[in-house]
Amino acid sequence: MTLEDSNGGRAAARRAARGKSAPNGPSLPNGAGRRKQKPKQRAKRIAMGVSGFVILVAAAGCAWVYQLDSNIQHSALDTGTQPQKGKVIPGALNIMVIGSDTRNAAADSSIGGQDYSLPHADVEMLVHVSADHQNATVMSIPRDTDVQIPPCKDSKGVTHTFGTHDQITNSLNYGPGCTVSAVNALTGVHIDHFMVVDFAGVVNMSDAVGGVQVCVNHNVYDPGSHLKLSTGTHTLVGQGALAFMRSRHAFGTGSDVDRTQTQHIYLSALIHKMKSASTLADPTNVFSLAEAASHAFIVDNDLSGVTNLISLANTMGGIPTNHITFATMPTAADPYNPNAWLVPGPGAQDLFDAIANDQSLSGGSSAPKPTASSTASATPTVDPSTVEVHVLNGTGVTGRAAAVGSELTGKGYSNTVVEHTSPGVVSASKVEYSTADPQYKREAQQVAAALGLPSSSLTTASGITTVHVVVGPDLKVGSGSGSKPPADVSKATAGAHTENAGDTVKCAQATPFPLGGLPASAAAYQGLTVEQAYALATKNGIPDSDKVK
């Protein structure tokens, strides 16, 4: 017998023993001769397979979040040398959105041309979200606004001072924390977060949503931003979207104020696109948006992390479109430099106050509605004069404990003691109490509510029988934030060029005036109308912006 015969015989014997046919024999009925799996074993294997899949998906999700988190750049919120002005309304959010013209990075240089000068804030928008998260106001501040920028520190801790007169755009020279300080000084509105986006960020975000649809009422060409569009509706992506946002010569009167209105048209169209089912229902779109946003923005330290950005996006996404109002700070010619700079005009302070007081410009109610889960109970259950409160300074800024102590005394807490010992600098305010008696917690909750602090500020501590308030940089009371009467919304909006995001997106109106103030490289277009410039640009082979990516 050969080896093959021997192996074949043994294999046949094994198959016969198991009830299976030889390779060339007839097949058995379905399932005959097979070892049956017990139901429990089968279920266990399926469960193990599903569990493995879930673990892989979870691991991929964690890796994705980690990747996005590592993309996000962040820095200190407010680098001014003085505490922010303005009251804090529980639940409300004020976010400073800054468009930077920095061109140090290769991606920005390829778009706007290389420039190693200090960055400037091309766009400054103060976004206010009401306490009930049902209304939003987006107020633009023209970049040429004349302000006295407060002293602030750069990323290396060096303090910089500014002259009595300066354009607010220059506040970004030493970081977004300086811009936050400058806008707070100008408006009196307490700012909670900032988001900075550069040229490449605008390009990437417009690409991530698949383009934004805008329209113009005439052929236009702006030799400054290189925006070139024919009459009608166009979908802009990439550099075309950036050119529309940066155009200063194509629309209105060609002023900085008109540029803010063009930006509002773009953002209104972007909101419509973002809220459309086709954008957010597709997981691929959501991933692209998250990925683009993680690269596009520099944020403050408290907003860093993709989960924080998603939470903010969900908050903004829940606001009805017709409850979002765009406005531009009312302006007047600056007596110091009347031909180029601006100052807040009539109605500007009313607009600032409306934002600070959480008043809606859209007609909906924006009364603060703090909840028990987010803020300490504000219902008085204890006579304030019977509560002993010790206030300690955890900010490193001289006088903050005394200021907060005065605030508490004014609210009836006459038994308030300002401590002169420091607990060291803290990142957030704390209201400490003992667990020895439930009454201590009620007293601490009431003190926290009186100061506008959230319930998360409540902390237990051993060895104390009084309420201790450790003042942190987030506690704004006692910073000159006295209450103001409601603002006159009609005055606030009279000269603010308001637009409601719920309305049909308007067409940008081409300027009828001749082009002027152009760089030497665009001398051929000087004195032409934007329509004549469009014809010349077409003759010169310059493509329309909706054909450029």
pLDDT (tens digit per residue) in 211-257: 899 999 999 999 988 999 999 999 999 889 889 988 989 998 888 88
Q: Does residue 87 sit in helix, strand or coil?
A: coil
Residue written as tokens 């493995």?
A: 52
pLDDT interval class at 28 (50, 70, 90): very low
Q: Do the Cβ atoms of 352 and 187 come closer than 8 Å? A: yes
Q: Taking phi first (over 0 means left), then psi (-120 to 50 degrees means alpha), and beta for anything else, what does residue 106 get?
A: alpha
* Of 187, 154, 149, the residue nearest 169 (C-alpha): 149
Please tell me the distance from the alpha carbon of residue 133 to that of residue 96, in angstroms, as a whole number: 17
Residue written as tokens 């030799």?
A: 223
Greatest alpha-carbon pair distance for the chain in Å reads 115
Fold exhibited by the domain 384-471: Alpha-Beta Plaits (3.30.70)
pLDDT interval class at 202 (50, 70, 90): confident
Q: Does the pLDDT of residue 511 top 60, yes or no?
A: yes
φ, ψ for residue 240 (rounded to 5)? Answer: -65, -40
Is the pLDDT higher at 542 or at 517?
Answer: 542
Q: Do the Cβ atoms of 139 and 329 come closer than 8 Å? A: yes
How many angstroms separate the Cα of 390 from the Cα of each of 369, 409, 450, 454? 29, 12, 14, 19
Q: Do the Cβ atoms of 251 and 509 come closer than 8 Å? A: yes
Please tell me the distance from the alpha carbon of residue 254 to that of residue 222, in angstroms, as a whole number: 10
pLDDT, mean of residues 129-154: 92
pLDDT in tens, 446-505: 998 888 888 888 999 988 989 999 998 878 665 544 445 688 889 999 999 998 888 777
Q: Does the pLDDT of residue 102 top 70, yes or no?
A: no
Q: Does the pLDDT of residue 45 top 70, yes or no?
A: no
Is the pLDDT higher at 69 or at 300?
Answer: 300
Angle 193-246-504 (CA atoms, 0-180°, nearest 5)? 80
Residue written as tokens 């603002």?
A: 487
Residue written as tokens 């910073």?
A: 479
Please tell me the distance from the alpha carbon of residue 509 to that of residue 262, in angstroms, as a whole number: 9
CA 372 distance to own-chain centroid? 26
Quickly list H helices, 34-81: 39-71
* Of 471, 484, 482, the residue nearest 404 (C-alpha): 471
pLDDT, mean of residues 370-395: 69
Least confident of 79-83, 94-98, 178-182, 361-365: 361-365
Least confident of 67-76, 181-190, 278-287, 357-366: 278-287
Q: Does the pLDDT of residue 96 top 90, yes or no?
A: yes
CA 332 distance to own-chain centroid? 29
pLDDT in tens, 307-325: 888 788 888 888 888 899 9
Residue spans per domain, the chain = 75-361+493-547, 384-471
The CATH number of domain 75-361+493-547, selected from 3.90.650.10, 3.40.50.720, 1.20.140.10, 3.40.630.190: 3.40.630.190
Is the pLDDT higher at 197 or at 17?
Answer: 197
Average of per-residue pLDDT values in the chain: 80
pLDDT interval class at 126 (50, 70, 90): very high
Is the pLDDT higher at 173 or at 112?
Answer: 173
Both tokens assigned to 47: 């469960």
What was the pLDDT predicted at 534? Answer: 97
pLDDT in tens, 273-305: 877 755 656 666 667 777 777 777 889 998 888
Residue written as tokens 């934002």?
A: 355
How many angstroms separate the Cα of 8 from the Cα of each of 1, 11, 22, 53, 173? 11, 5, 10, 41, 85
Q: Does residue 24 sit in helix, strand or coil?
A: coil
